[in-house]
Structure 1
Amino acid sequence: MTAVNDRLDVSANIVPIPNKVPSWQRSYSRRLVAIDFVAVVAAVGLAQWMRFGGLGGEVSTFRSLDYAFVSAGIALLWMAALSINNSRSTRIIGSGAEEYRRVWLATLSVFGGVAILSMLFKLEIARGYLMIALPAGLLFLGLLRWLARKAVIRAREKHGRCITRLLVVGSPSAVRDLTTSLVRDAGSEYEVVGACTPGPAQRARIDVPGFGPIPTFGDESNVVGAVTATNSHAVAVTATERLNGRGIRDLSWELEKLDIDLLVAPGVVDIAGPRLQMRPVAGLPLIHVEKPQYHGAKRFQKRLFDIVFSSAVLVFGLPLLIPIAIVIKLTSRGPVFYRSERIGLDGNPFEMIKFRTMVDGADQMVKDLAARNESQGGVLFKIREDPRVTPFGRLLRKYSIDELPQFINVLKRDMSVVGPRPPLAREVKTYDDYAKRRLLVRPGITGLWQVSGRSDLSWEDSVRLDLFYVENWSMVSDLLIAVKTVKAVFTHSGAY
């Protein structure tokens, strides 16, 4: 094996580049300080105004303190906690769940600490004040952070700004896979600008479908030179046999001089962060991958959520469901509900209920329309302008109202509120062992497929998203998907 310790000879003539952190990250982080300050001040100000009607009021009979000082103190602690928890770190800003998790953790730690101090020193801070400030703060922080994140994503998509230039080190297939994964995520900050591939046989570029050609800059011995040539802000090391653990350590030292971030892709795909735990053993950073959990407390929580959510939708949606049923009956021949056999948990069939949006007997017309199938992969059957859909049915599909009766399936334990797309029996017959893992959980009314393009998705992307959900599902992910579904419904993205 070629010695990897001498691979960075070109670095001897490289002048360290000061502060290679992308300028957009530094300015965005500074703006977050102002955004957080506005949210925190608004929360404590609203709590004080709603509880006391102004800036006056005493904390307790034990100590005559004005609530203006209490609000100022809580605001300072809150801002400090957000900094201590690295909620504005350039590593996580704009990354979604992890950023919000740190904001929540900082907020809860502040109010937990205030509650403990109030009890220990008998300050008797009004509970109504805290009960207003806490949810208001979480709401304001989450909303303003979300708006800031949307502004960054918009700048990336429309103007090509707020981008972190990434050099990838690894085999051509690994470079291609990593680039494809980054392209799938429209909000990703990373843009692959070059690659270093191991081995004597070098190519001028690596062609990535859906992205274009990626220029190459030699093998892993020329990483530092490639960073300078591409003006990269970070280096991602993927699967490579020649760059071993010691070589990666030496590379990190060289990149440290240039203030360049080093990312190591472990080669584990579609595994969510909570299932990955770093376990240092004998000086080696081992990554422990937790097994997917489908039983126990998590399943009980999911079932409880299904019952409460579905019952609420059916009860409060009854004034809407009855008129819809009447209009369907009056505008087209056939039953109000469309019943279709689908495959559910562990491959067991069940009868899925929807409002009928097509002409009666539409299933028998599939063979005649097979040539017009627009679904990529050929497994699903989708036509953007399906002649079988009734005019009123098109309106129901546009806003996914036809799926409301499926909450009855949820109460019957056939389906879940969130889960993989419910497949037809003929689709399941084409499944390989990889796709059959979709059947390990109940199918859902909504899911990652619903909030990621719906009918616009290819078969491969649909399977990938469903399997990601099956492997990593949690109550937090279910809640996030449910919230995103509202946006997908109102924008009717991919609905036809």
Structure 2
Amino acid sequence: MHNKRLDIRAPLIAQLSSGTGIGSLRVLVLLALDGLSIAFAWLLADELGTPVGSFRLLSANAERPGFLLPILAIAIGMLAASGLYSTDDRRRDFFNLIKSLSLAQCVLLIIGYLYEPDVIISRSTLLLSWIFSLAFVLTERLILHLSIIYLRQKGAIRQRIGLICQPNDIEPATKFITKAKQYLICHVEELSTRDRNTDWSEMIEGLRKKHVGEVFVCSTLSVKEQIYLYWELKRAGIHLRIVPLGLELPIQWSEIKMVNGIPSMRFRSPPIIGGDYWIKRSFDLIAATILLILFSPLLIGLAIAIKLDSPGPIFYKQTRVGLKGRHFKVWKFRTMVTNAEELQKELEAKNEMKGGVMFKMKDDPRITRVGKFIRRYSLDEIPQILNVLNGEMSLVGPRPFPLRDVAHFDEHHFMRHEVLPGITGLWQVSGRSDVVDFDDVFRLDMTYIQNWSVSLDFQILFQTVKVVLAKEGAY
């Protein structure tokens, strides 16, 4: 019998899903905001810079139009070529954004020299336009990113998805996807309850009625003839994604390579080594120097308050374990009585941290009056800027632990010592003292190590300020 149904691969009958529409809208919003930011940056630079030559951003002369539109086309084109309008995490790669905008500035110079040699632009205008472009675009994207995170935490703008899994994969897949706070699981298809055939029409019709935009397959080996599933989903305007459950190596270390027509994942070197280390170290040195200058009046005031509050030194130096297990002295403002370490032995039974690795006690009697205020806002950590300048610590990284805590480590915990310890980190911005299980601390540290980027450091630093001011989880 002749099959009257159209070829499921026919592109003219593919439909648009809500997920596709949201993705397109997000790209259009980014394009508009980037365009406005770059245009305003150049207009402001042209206004503040030295007016020389025949350079004009805007011109009423039709025979010789202004340069604003070509500038926007080159800058936006460079951002697009760098994947900064993609639907994945690359659009939040702020370091790549800085490189792309800087490269666009160089391209503008080369094109201007080759095609408009008679046009002269002042160095001040060119420099200001670069600085303003970086500042405005980075700020605009950061605000947009934080706004999206806030709305998702409130349950808004989450993409509706479906799951296709074996029964034993449903729970880990649900936890993994829900943790991202980006998706709303509207349908779960258990492979064990359906016939092993290629007819997915009933399931797909249900997905369409629920306005699902993407399907996650978490048990790929159990799906027969996956190409039929892909075609059927594509025809309905639904995207397909494979989630490799059980493969716990971070995707940031991988790249897709084809081997005899089959996609494979090749894993690169982990982050924070080689060139990445020097990028992070350079940022630490510059930022630590600026912070030390800005905080100098506060440091003096706190030093006086500590001296007047209780007898003993202003600073407290304790041996901690850092990179590759090396010991170093960490600098902190003293917040406890001078014999605090001796008293800790008597308080070990009241340790509130599970596993015994770390010592935490909410109402610690060893803390002084000024010490309580200092700890509430984490001001005791500021002197560790000296450790950063000395190369013993980083601004962001796993916290360095005392010898007493490291003595309780299991073997896998020593992975934390493969990177420089930090003043703040994912643990501090994920609940701080409210985290009472060391395994959670270790998991957060490993998440940071595996997913490090300059943009992640910026996010943690901004989040640290928010957490400290809100006094979230502070003892």
Calculate the TM-score normalised by the size of structure 2.
Answer: 0.81
Change over 3 Å in CA distance of 1:476–1:67 after alignment to 2:
farther
Tell me the residue number matched to 2:206.
Answer: 229
Change over 3 Å in CA distance of 1:48–1:163 after alignment to 2:
same
Output one character per residue of 1:192-241: Cα deviation in whole Å (capped at 9) or x when no partner: 33333444xx6xxxxxxxxxxxxxx8989786644543522211122454
Change over 3 Å in CA distance of 1:410–1:41 after alignment to 2:
closer
Tell me if 1:164 matches 2:143: no
Output one character per residue of 1:152-209: Cα deviation in whole Å (capped at 9) or x when no partner: 3333333x32111222233445433333234444xx321233333444xx6xxxxxxx
Tell me the residue number matched to 2:421.
Answer: 443
Tell me if 1:136 matches 2:116: no
Distance 2:33 2:357 in 1: 47
Tell me the residue number matched to 1:209.
Answer: none
Which amino acid counterpart does residue 388 of structure 2 have in structure 1? V
Distance 1:172 1:336 in 2: 59
Output one character per residue of 1:243-299: Cα deviation in whole Å (capped at 9) or x when no partner: 37xx333322221011111111234335152x2111111101111111325654444
Q: Is the 8 A contact 2:92 2:455 kept in 1?
A: no
For residue 116 of structure 1, the aligned residue among 99, 110, 119 is 110
Distance 1:283 1:34 in 2: 39
Which amino acid counterpart does residue 36 of structure 2 have in structure 1? V
Tell me the residue number matched to 2:183.
Answer: 190
State the Cα distance separating 1:57 from its structure 2 match: 6.4
Change over 3 Å in CA distance of 1:356–1:154 after alignment to 2:
same
1:224-373 equivalent positions in 2, closer than 5 A = 225-229=202-206, 231=210, 232-243=212-223, 247-267=225-245, 268-269=247-248, 271-273=250-252, 275-292=253-270, 295-366=273-344, 369-370=347-348, 372-373=350-351
Q: Is the 8 A contact 1:196 1:220 kept in 2?
A: no
Change over 3 Å in CA distance of 1:262–1:452 after alignment to 2:
same
Output one character per residue of 1:9-44: Cα deviation in whole Å (capped at 9) or x when no partner: xx9xxxx88321335444444433432332132112
For residue 470 of structure 1, the aligned residue among 437, 449, 467 is 449
Which amino acid counterpart does residue 40 of structure 2 have in structure 1? A
Distance 1:448 1:131 in 2: 35
- Aligned with 1:448: secondary structure? coil
Distance 2:409 2:106 in 1: 50
Change over 3 Å in CA distance of 1:147–1:243 after alignment to 2:
same
Distance 1:257 1:468 in 2: 37
Distance 2:347 2:328 in 1: 26
Q: Is the 8 A contact 1:21 1:233 kept in 2?
A: yes
Distance 2:361 2:220 in 1: 43
Tell me the residue number matched to 1:208.
Answer: none
Which amino acid counterpart does residue 407 of structure 1 have in structure 2? I
Tell me if 1:74 matches 2:68: no
Tell me the residue number matched to 1:4.
Answer: none
Distance 2:73 2:293 in 1: 45
Distance 1:302 1:86 in 2: 23
State the Cα distance separating 1:352 from its structure 2 match: 2.2
Distance 2:103 2:273 in 1: 31
Tell me the residue number matched to 1:401.
Answer: 379
Which amino acid counterpart does residue 472 of structure 2 have in structure 1? S
Output one character per residue of 1:73-95: Cα deviation in whole Å (capped at 9) or x when no partner: 32344345555656444x23xx4
- Aligned with 1:404: secondary structure? helix
Calculate the TM-score normalised by the size of structure 1.
Answer: 0.78
Q: Is the 8 A contact 1:197 1:218 kept in 2?
A: no
Tell me the residue number matched to 1:42.
Answer: 40
Say what the alpha-carbon RMSD is for the aligned residues.
3.6
- Aligned with 2:361: secondary structure? coil
Tell me the residue number matched to 1:19.
Answer: 16
Say which is worse superposed, 38-47 or 70-79, in terms of deviation. 70-79
Where structure 2 has 5 or more consecutive residues not aligned to the other structure, the ranges are: 1-7
Distance 1:30 1:137 in 2: 19
Where structure 1 has 5 or more consecutive residues not aligned to the other structure, the ranges are: 1-10, 203-216
- Aligned with 2:401: secondary structure? coil
Which amino acid counterpart does residue 243 of structure 1 have in structure 2? V
Count residues with an aligned counterpart: 453
Which amino acid counterpart does residue 73 of structure 1 have in structure 2? P
Distance 2:76 2:289 in 1: 40
Tell me the residue number matched to 1:8.
Answer: none
Q: Is the 8 A contact 2:318 2:329 kept in 1?
A: yes
Distance 1:316 1:327 in 2: 19
Distance 2:464 2:273 in 1: 25
- Aligned with 2:66: secondary structure? helix
